[in-house]
Amino acid sequence: MKNKKIESIFLLPSLLGVLLFFLIPFIVIIYYSLINNPMEQKFVFLDNFSALLDNSAFILAAKNTAIFSLLAVPLAVILSLALALLLESKIPYKSQFRTFFLSPMMVPVASVVLVWKVVFNFNGPINSFIAVFGLEPINWLKSDYSQLVIIILFLWKNLGYNMILFMAGLNSIPKTLLEVAEIENASPWFKFVQIKLRFISPTILFVALLSLINSFKVFREIHLLTGDYPYDSLYMLQHFMNNTFKALDYQKLATAAILMGIVMIVIIGILFIIENYFGKDVEG
């Protein structure tokens, strides 16, 4: 009994921290999303949600964020898995290859942004290169190609870490299964789909979730490159949240946060269902 009391005392600071920094703010956000403003505090139920869905800035930000995540996250998962499989094979300069893709993790974001500003400048090396082929220079960050620039930046920053996670997952596959498949003359495609993919399905889920979270954090790079109000195709949900916070529009901010949370929960739930379906027969 005394031991349980002691354990409860040690747990108390953590419980207070969760209550103070997670539970109470969550309840406050829900409350703000259901009232008209902090002064009158009149209950309006779902009026804030319908007003937000009619807000052109929110619609633009949500559309751009969805497009970016739908393009960047699958690319991050597929390319990092391909790199991990490549490093599994016998290739020359394997350690140098691995170091090259891990090096972006050691570079500060501000330095990366500076490099991108120089490379994709109107008078930068990319435009100089395409001019050799007789193409007109492009203002990359203020054109329809702007999301492509950020996707390249996102992949460059995240592929290395994802690749290491996949390499760890591939190394955990029982070697006996691969040896049996080899003896049975199984094709490389069969070994990849029926053995490797099934055993690394938890790793695929983790990398997909990590990439999804990082795709929502790309605001840092975009903000440093373009400021609060970038070209339309780069205006993300984080820009909308940041600008709404500066305007002290708590109702709009809280409502957007709840909608964003609901969407994330649905996406994560779908990913867990898919992983459970493909990995259920290799559990245990």
Q: 10 Å Cβ neighbour count for 56?
A: 7
Is residue 127's pLDDT more than 80? yes
CB-based contacts of 94, cutoff 8 Å, min separation 6: 87
Determine the Cα–Cα distance for residues 59 and 62; give it in Å rounded to an integer: 5
Q: Which of 154, 148, 144 is nearest to 233 (CA)?
A: 144
| pLDDT over 80 (residue 93) | no
Q: Which residues of 111-150 are buried (b: 16+ CB within 10 A; e: fewer)?
A: ebbeebeeebbeeeebbeeeeeeeeeebebbeeeebbebb
Q: What is the mean pLDDT of residues 51-63?
A: 90
**67, 210 Cβ separation under 8 angstroms:** no
Fill in the amino acid letter for 39. M
- The whole-number pLDDT of residue 67 equals 92
Q: For residue 250, give both structure tokens.
A: 């708590």
Q: What average pLDDT does the segment 70-79 reach? A: 93
List the one residue out of 140, 188, 52, 187 whose CA is nearest residue 44.
52
Distances (CA, A) of 275 to 7, 190, 206, 238: 36, 19, 10, 29
What confidence score (pLDDT) does residue 188 get?
Answer: 79
User: pLDDT digits over 178-227, tens only?
Assistant: 778 778 777 778 888 788 888 888 889 899 999 998 888 888 888 888 87
Q: What is the pTM of this model?
A: 0.83
- Residues 250-259: b if buried by 16+ CB within 10 A, e if exposed: bbbbbbbbbb
pLDDT above 60 for 282: no
User: Is the pLDDT reported for residue 1 higher than 60?
Assistant: no
d(CA 146, CA 140): 5
Q: 98 vs 101, 104, 158, CA distance in Å?
A: 5, 11, 13
What integer is the mean pLDDT of 38-53? Answer: 83
Domains and CATH numbers, the chain: 1-33 (no CATH), 48-282 (1.10.3720.10)
CA distance 77 to 260: 22
Q: Who has greater pLDDT, 60 or 93?
A: 60
How high does pLDDT run on average in the chain? 84
CB atoms within 10 A of CB 225: 21
